[in-house]
Chain A
Amino acid sequence: DQQVKQNSPSLSVQEGRISILNCDYTNSMFDYFLWYKKYPAEGPTFLISISSIKDKNEDGRFTVFLNKSAKHLSLHIVPSQPGDSAVYFCAASSTPSNTGNQFYFGTGTSLTVIP
């Protein structure tokens, strides 16, 4: 059963506007969450993460929000740029991460930013 879900397979946004990608999880033991970005013919690259002790983490144009009670996280990209067009995966893990606990990935959302 999918423990991390991305219910929107695709999203189109105009350049300059906000992109909001959503992710839901079912396992309340998850406490480390990540977003990865993937271009065609490349591996996923780490974008941003958040620990469950926080509800928001920002890095430049990228902000991740975590709502633990709803078991929901979202990635906001502002402003969106054409180079942001890619597939975005969310992932979750539970501590202690230094024991090699698994990362569980969603199915991905394909973002298209229209110039």
Chain B
Amino acid sequence: EAQVTQNPRYLITVTGKKLTVTCSQNMNHEYMSWYRQDPGLGLRQIYYSMNVEVTDKGDVPEGYKVSRKEKRNFPLILESPSPNQTSLYFCASRTIWLGAYNSPLHFGNGTRLTVT
């Protein structure tokens, strides 16, 4: 089954304790991205990657890191989490090859992070 898998689904941590949220897709998509969803603000892009070793900032990158060492994986790293990073996080992927001129994003089921 084609899917984007995020782990963990729920995470409670304390301020300053480094954490990683994993994301993996099995659709051979070039493009992967992280979003956060907050009440009244919709989905906002944190970082994206167009292919292996190619990453770039989205609208709200502060406090986050990403890496893309393999095509299928795109982990989100919070080096020193703070309470304002409490949010619902979604990983997404899509193909961007020519011929798939406009293709939709496929989302994972989300990770609810609470930082106390």
Known interface pairs A43-B90, A43-B110, A102-B58; A97-B42 also in contact (CB < 8 Å): no
The answer to whether A97 and B90 have CB atoms under 8 Å apart is no
Q: How large is the interface on A (under 10, 10 to 19, 20 to 34, 35 or more residues)?
A: 20 to 34
- The number of chain B residues with a CB under 8 A from chain A is 30
The answer to whether A44 and B107 have CB atoms under 8 Å apart is yes
Known interface pairs A43-B107, A44-B90, A46-B106; A98-B42 also in contact (CB < 8 Å): no
The answer to whether A45 and B107 have CB atoms under 8 Å apart is yes
User: What residues of chain B have their CB less than 8 Å away from a CB belonging to chain A?
Assistant: 4, 31, 35, 40-45, 48, 50, 56, 58-59, 90, 92, 96-98, 100-110
User: What residues of chain A have their CB less than 8 Å away from a CB belonging to chain B?
Assistant: 2, 4, 6, 32, 34, 36, 41-46, 49, 51, 89, 91, 93, 95, 97-100, 102-103, 105-108
